Amino acid sequence: MKIQCIAIDDEPLAVKKISGYIQKTPFLELVAECRSAFEAISILENNKVHLMFIDINMPDLNGMEFVKSLTDKPYVVFTTAYSEYAVEGFQVDAVDYLLKPITYAGFLKAASKVKNLIDLTANNQKESIKSSADHLFVKSKYKLIRIEPDDIKYIESQHEYIKIHLINGNPVTTQLSMKAIEEQLPSDRFMRVHRSYIVNLKKISVIERNRIVFDGKVYIPVSDQYKEKFQEYIDGNFV
């Protein structure tokens, strides 16, 4: 699996350099290059992104403020010409901090750190979920919890964790990726509708303005990436 990346920098030459480094690295794949944090918002909403290389000093919304605003953020590597931001960068869980001018050797070292983290998480997740035809066992707070797929309303991504919202009872939080849980769920009953949400199609009763509504208060957006597939389901099942 290649690591999906975006490069964010308001300087054209700087963003082109990072994009070029991404494209020459075998285990990385460039999703988009963005000239502002605002441009990156729609990319993150509509695409799978595992890693972003982001400049700190940008007009209107700087990279540090942007990362702090994200509730479900990918891995972050900051790029900047100013070393004084390093400590603050690590306080927001950045994997690395690259000082301009950025060499390919420095870039590759940072990218390899992210790859190692992703590989380690994937190995841990294999032990965090067990499934059979009619139920799942997931690890949560040192316990194994049995979950029936029919009891799931929707699943919410929270970066390295997911929260499984149930029809009855409290949500179950476990250290899994959306991809890992999606592979264990029946594809005829569950659908990814957003990078941060999987829904139980059988539990949908209200759709309002391209959002799925649960319990009259939870609004789950359907992003552009998944809109066509979800519309096909609606057309085939609603009158």
What residues does CATH 2.40.50.1020 cover in the chain? 129-237
Contact indicator for 79, 98 with CB cutoff of 8 Å: yes
Contact indicator for 94, 67 with CB cutoff of 8 Å: yes
CATH class of 129-237: mainly beta
- What was the pLDDT predicted at 83? 73
The CATH H-level superfamily of 3-125 is Response regulator (3.40.50.2300)
Q: How far apart are CA 56 and CA 14, in angstroms?
A: 12
Contact indicator for 173, 163 with CB cutoff of 8 Å: yes
Which contacts (CB < 8 Å, 24+ apart) does range 132-135 have? none
Number of other residues whose CB lies within 10 A of the CB of residue 141: 8
Pull the structure tokens for residue 88: 């603050």
Amino acid at 26: P
Strands (E), 90-167: 96-99, 129-131, 136-140, 143-147, 152-158, 161-166
- What was the pLDDT predicted at 85? 61
pLDDT values of the chain reduced to their tens digit, one per residue, 239 residues: 799 999 999 999 999 999 999 999 999 999 999 999 999 998 998 888 999 999 998 888 889 899 988 877 889 999 988 777 655 655 678 899 899 999 999 999 999 999 998 887 766 665 556 666 678 888 887 788 899 999 999 999 887 789 999 998 889 998 888 888 888 898 899 999 998 899 999 999 899 988 999 988 899 999 888 889 999 998 888 66
Q: How far apart are CA 35 and CA 114, in angstroms?
A: 23
Classify 21 as helix, strand or coil: helix
What residues does CATH 3.40.50.2300 cover in the chain? 3-125
pTM of the model: 0.65
Q: How far apart are CA 134 and CA 176, in angstroms?
A: 19
b (16+ CB within 10 A) / e for 185-200: beeeebbbbbbbbbbb
User: Comparing C-alpha atoms, which of 34, 114, 23, 29 is closest to residue 74?
Assistant: 114
